[in-house]
């Protein structure tokens, strides 16, 4: 019985430490400028999705631009940190984002960063655990961030609000 309780405590501790809602020290805050860095694109890996994502049903539109290239376009960016190869919540989140692509593809750049393929992006944004969603405005500032899975209506409202916000002069 004693070893069972110890095992149970160990499992609970592991699950607690790996939870999606951990806010790591040094993580980018809302209002701060997003770091500009080169991340892998589909072109960089010769069109081989397995070298850019663990997602089983990837949408090529999420892998066209590096973070630095997306920031240079002065458009709203939805940046999703998700590693569906080991996270079923991440898989569901990416399915929802694929549905949003059709509605917002003219106004929002959608980027997916997989921990295995773009770990430097996780480091630059201070992300530990996944999924994490960041919305970056055309002014390159983080407008929204949230851990875990989101509902379509929540994301729809955030993107609509960010797109409608008046442009602020770029300081970066």
**The CATH fold of domain 27-164:** Glutaredoxin (3.40.30)
- What are the tens digits of pLDDT across the range 55-98? 999 999 999 999 999 999 999 999 999 999 999 999 999 999 99
Give the separation between CA 84 and CA 71, rounded to whole angstroms.
Answer: 25
76 touches 136 (CB < 8 A): yes
Opening angle at CA 153, ends 167 and 77, nearest 5:
35
pTM confidence score: 0.82
Gap between the terminal Cα atoms of the chain: 60
Selection from 22, 48, 8 nearest residue 122 by Cα: 22
Tell me the pairing of strands 108-113 and 132-136.
Answer: unpaired
Give the separation between CA 142 and CA 144, rounded to whole angstroms.
Answer: 6
Residue scoring higher pLDDT (1 or 113) = 113
Number of H helices, E strands in the chain: 5, 4
Give the separation between CA 53 and CA 145, rounded to whole angstroms.
Answer: 21
- What are the tens digits of pLDDT across the range 30-57? 999 999 999 999 999 999 999 999 999 9
């Amino acid at each position: 019985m004693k070893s069972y309780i110890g095992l149970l405590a160990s499992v609970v501790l592991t699950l607690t430490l790996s939870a999606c809602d951990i806010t790591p020290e040094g993580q980018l805050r809302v209002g701060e400028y997003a770091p500009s860095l080169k991340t892998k694109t589909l072109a960089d890996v010769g069109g081989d999705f397995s070298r850019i994502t663990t997602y089983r049903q990837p949408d090529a539109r999420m892998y066209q631009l590096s973070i630095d290239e997306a920031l240079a376009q002065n458009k709203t960016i939805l940046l999703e940190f998700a590693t569906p190869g080991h996270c079923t919540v991440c898989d569901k989140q990416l399915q929802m984002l694929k549905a949003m692509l059709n509605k917002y593809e003219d106004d929002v750049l959608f980027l997916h960063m997989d921990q295995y393929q773009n770990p430097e992006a996780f480091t630059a944004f201070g992300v530990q655990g996944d999924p994490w969603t960041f919305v970056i405005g055309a002014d390159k500032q983080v407008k929204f961030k949230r851990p875990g899975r989101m509902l379509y209506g929540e994301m729809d409202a955030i993107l609509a609000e960010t797109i409608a916000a008046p442009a602020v002069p770029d300081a970066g």
